[in-house]
Amino acid sequence: MRNPLRSEAEAFRFLIAVIIGALVIFGAARIDTWLGVAAAVAAVAGIVWWLKDEPVPGAGEPLPKLTSATPPGIRRVLVVANETARGTALRDELERVRTPETELLVVAPALASPVQHWVSDVDGAREDAEERLNESVGLLRAAGFRVRGEIGDPDPLVAIEDALRTFGADEIVISTHPPGRSNWLEQDIVGKARQRLALPVTHVVVDLAAEQARA
Amino acid sequence: MAAAHAEHLEHHGPPTPHYSSRITPGVLGMFLFIASEIMLFGSFFTAYFFIRVVNGVQWPTPPYHLPVYVALLNTCILVTSSFTVHWALQSIKRGNVWGLRAGLLLTFLMGLTFLITQVIEYARIGFNTSDGAFPTIFFCLTGLHGAHVFVGLSILLFMTIRAFRGHFSAEHHHGVEIGGIYWHFVDVMWIVVYLTVYIL
């Protein structure tokens, strides 16, 4: 059902529909109370039918895959990483795909729990993500990359789609913890991204514990 | 400095917050508002249903009578006020500030007339909540709606004052839109209450 109060125009149309139903009910009730009740039931059914969603042309067809346009001569890489943003394996992968005209956008989804997300208590998660993001962006800039960062939606797929709306990426790099430690791998974020996006998606596994042990 | 001052004058409210594209705060807020109102009115209508249908209480219970035609006049006033608030919004969308001001002022006055008429009827109706289930549910349903009208009048008053201060324009009139939506909602609820309590 569409929301009858989503705009003043919709609310006014809803009011007109209710007035027409009320006139029918009023007339029926003057004849007999039970006729009025029947008219009320019919009026409610009529209004509910009127509020049903109109079929959208193309609905039911597979959604077109998301893609994005890149300015000519520039290669853009969207990097999705949070806790693994400071990992050496990620930086090695970015060095591998680097060209003289590579631009990076590092998106760090704010890792909030479902309860935190629904009560909009994501400030702590955003602060943690920002701290990791700043460190990661600093390291990449020190390595000579043209890079900027932003905090993304707690859902990595939504964060990717949001970023692609303004950043014409040619490639996506998703960095996760190793299997068994990664919530994103549990949710098959990489597989879903490959299915949904018409862009090459590279998966990088960053084992921070192993990297720290080697250091 | 003048440019910065001009930019400051252009800006309305706090900076745009960062949120995902999944659902906007405005839509989520409206859903939560509608859900809470459905629960609130739904509980009172459920009580009405149990009193009148399940327990078979005669409606209205003798010797009491309901002022059906005064309430019908009041309904016409409230419905007309929805048209004037719609006219006010359409006016400001076309940049007609005086149409906005006239529409909002008329809407406020008609809403105030509705509320005052309701209060006068309460004083003259001849029964009160201690007289049984029928008077109780009557005052609860109409009183709950009256409280919503009071809130709507408060919103309309702020909108009218802001309209006369020149806060709204063809590009910026979100405050009028939101107030208009609420006023139409109050009108719809009154039609439902009127039909249920006075007519059926």
Question: Do A21 and A90 lie in a common domain?
Answer: no
A47 shares a domain with A83: no
Residue A65 lies in a domain: no
Nearest CA in chain B to A36: B200
Instruction: Print the domain residue range for A192.
Output: 75-214
pTM of the model: 0.60
Confidence (pLDDT) at B149: 96
Give Cα B189 to chain centroid, integer Å. 8
User: Is residue A63 assigned to a domain?
Assistant: no
Residues A133 and A178 in one domain: yes
Three-class SS of residue A146? strand
* pLDDT for residue B107 is more than 80: yes
Q: How many domains does chain B have?
A: 1
Judged by CB atoms closer than 8 Å, whether chains meet at B188 and A151 is answered as no
Asked if B200 has any chain A CB less than 8 Å from its own CB, the reply is yes
Q: Looking at the structure, tell me whether residues A113 and A186 fall in a common domain.
A: yes
Domain enclosing residue B172, as ranges: 75-200
Q: Coil, strand, or helix at residue A9?
A: helix
A127 with A28, same domain: the answer is no
The span from the CA of B145 to the CA of B151, in Å, is 10
Q: What is the pLDDT of residues A105-138, one digit of tens each?
A: 999 888 877 777 667 677 788 888 888 888 888 8
ipTM score for this prediction: 0.78
Q: Is residue B18 part of a domain?
A: no
CA nearest neighbour of A126 among A151, A162, A107 = A151
Both A22 and A92 in a single domain? no
Q: Is residue B89 part of a domain?
A: yes
In a domain, A56, yes or no: no
Determine the residue of chain B that is closest to A31 in CA distance.
Answer: B200
B94 touches chain A (CB under 8 A): no
Q: Count other C-beta atoms under 10 Å from residue A110's C-beta.
A: 24
Total structural domains in chain A?
2
Residues A32, A137, single domain; the answer is no
In a domain, A84, yes or no: yes
Residue B7 lies in a domain: no
Query: Is the same domain home to A34 and A133?
Result: no
Q: How many CB pairs lie under 8 A apart between chains A and B?
A: 75
Q: Please indicate, yes or no, whether residues A184 and A80 belong to a single structural domain of this protein.
A: yes
Q: Do A158 and A115 fall within a single domain?
A: yes
| Dihedral (CA of A115, A117, A123, A128) sign | positive
Cβ within 8 Å, pair B184-A5: yes
Write out the residues of chain A at the interface with chain B, using a CB-CB cutoff of 8 A. Answer: 3, 5-8, 11-12, 14-15, 18-19, 22, 25-26, 29, 33, 36-37, 40, 126, 151-155, 158-159, 161-162, 165
Confidence of residue B8 (pLDDT cuts 50, 70, 90): very low
Q: How far is B124 from chain A (nearest CA, A)?
A: 25
Q: Is residue B104, in this structure, part of any structural domain at all?
A: yes
What is the pLDDT averaged over residues B63-79? Answer: 91
The reply to whether B158 falls in a domain is yes
pLDDT tens column, A63-104: 555 555 556 678 889 999 877 877 888 888 888 888 888 899
Do A92 and A136 meet the contact criterion of CB atoms below 8 Å apart? no
Sheet of A75-80, strands arranged across = A146-152, A102-109, A75-80, A171-176, A201-205
User: Cis bond leading into B60, ω under 30°?
Assistant: yes
Can you give the pLDDT at residue B7?
43
CATH of the domain at B198: 1.20.120.80
pLDDT of B160 higher than 70: yes
Whether B21 is in a domain gets the answer no
Of A3, A6, A22, which is closest to B191 when you measure between CB atoms? A22
Q: Which amino acid is at A213?
A: A
In terms of domains, do A98 and A135 share one? yes
Q: Would you say residue A182 lies in a domain?
A: yes
Q: How confident is the model at residue A51 (pLDDT cuts 50, 70, 90)?
A: confident
Name the residue among B79, B185, B191 with its Cβ closest to that of A11.
B185
Residue B2 lies in a domain: no
Domain shared by A182 and A96, yes or no: yes
Q: Is B123 helix (H, G, I), strand (E, B) or coil?
A: helix
Domain harbouring A165, CATH code: 3.40.50.620
User: Which pLDDT score is estimated for A1?
Assistant: 67
Q: Is residue A59 part of a domain?
A: no
